[in-house]
């Protein structure tokens, strides 16, 4: 597949941007640390049920004139749709994280953001996706089915056939959106 795309399923995006402001790496390290401690940033991104994986890293070492912000993500759909969803669901986070990057245009207008991302995008030759043939929603639904079937097994140990049938019917009815 070209440029990290799997038909109708998973797409990869890798972005390198120059961190332009002095001492911005201190701010970014604080943001990344807080994101591991506070639920809101994670919840905001997780409600975009199209993200398989996303991470940011700061690349700085001798030999680099300036530090870089490295972002990589796997998601369902096209890069354009992903950028648009990200910009509307996570605008404050985008400003906090990429606001330190050179020429960051802000999350809106989306077309300006898309052009900025294309300039810093690195087209990967290879990437890993645990479930390339499944959307994020399908993976989450599968996990929910597994959890609920496990609960059914625990609840119905030693149950008579009529009680099992009743519990099983309730399970199937409750999982209609997941199966």
From the list 132, 129, 133, 94, the residue with the least C-alpha distance to 110 is: 94
Residues 115 and 156 in one domain: no
Q: What is the C-alpha separation between 77 and 10, in angstroms, rounded? A: 6
pLDDT band at 137 (very low <50, low <70, confident <90, very high): confident
CA distance to 96, 168, 172, per residue, from 55 (Å): 15, 40, 36
Residues 12 and 47 in one domain: yes
Residues 143 and 111 in one domain: no
Domain that holds residue 28: 2-120
Q: Above 80 in pLDDT, residue 101?
A: yes
Give me the half-sphere count of Cα atoms (radius 13 Å) on the Cβ side of residue 153: 6
Average pLDDT over residues 96-120: 93
Within-domain flag for 125: no
CATH of the domain at 80: 3.30.70
Q: What is the pLDDT of residues 19-46, one digit of tens each?
A: 987 689 999 999 888 888 876 666 666 6
Residues 7 and 72 in one domain: yes
pTM over 0.75: no
Q: Give the count of beta carbons closer than 10 Å to the beta carbon of residue 52.
A: 21
What is the model's pLDDT at position 2?
43
Domain count, the chain: 2
What is the model's pLDDT at position 4?
47
Residues 42 and 95 in one domain: yes
State the alpha helices, DSSP H only, in the chain. 24-37, 39-46, 79-89, 91-98, 110-120, 136-155, 161-174
Within-domain flag for 126: no
Residues 84 and 57 in one domain: yes
Q: What is the C-alpha separation between 110 and 17, in angstroms, rounded? A: 18
Within-domain flag for 92: yes
Within-domain flag for 90: yes
């Amino acid at each position: 597949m070209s440029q990290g795309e799997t038909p109708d399923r998973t797409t990869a995006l890798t972005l390198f941007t120059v961190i332009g402001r002095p001492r911005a790496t201190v701010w970014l390290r604080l943001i990344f640390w807080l994101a591991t401690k506070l639920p809101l940033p994670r919840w905001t991104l997780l409600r975009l049920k199209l993200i398989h994986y996303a991470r940011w890293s700061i690349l700085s070492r001798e030999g680099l004139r300036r530090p870089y912000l490295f972002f990589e993500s796997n998601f369902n759909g096209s890069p354009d749709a992903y950028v648009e969803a990200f910009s509307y669901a996570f605008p404050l986070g985008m400003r906090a994280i990429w606001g330190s990057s050179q020429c960051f245009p802000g999350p809106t207008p989306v077309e300006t953001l898309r052009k900025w991302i294309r300039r810093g995008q690195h087209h990967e030759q290879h990437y890993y996706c645990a479930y390339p043939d499944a959307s994020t929603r399908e993976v989450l639904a599968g996990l929910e089915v597994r959890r609920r079937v496990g609960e059914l097994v625990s609840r119905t140990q030693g149950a008579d056939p009529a009680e099992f049938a009743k519990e099983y019917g309730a399970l199937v009815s409750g999982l209609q959106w997941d199966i």
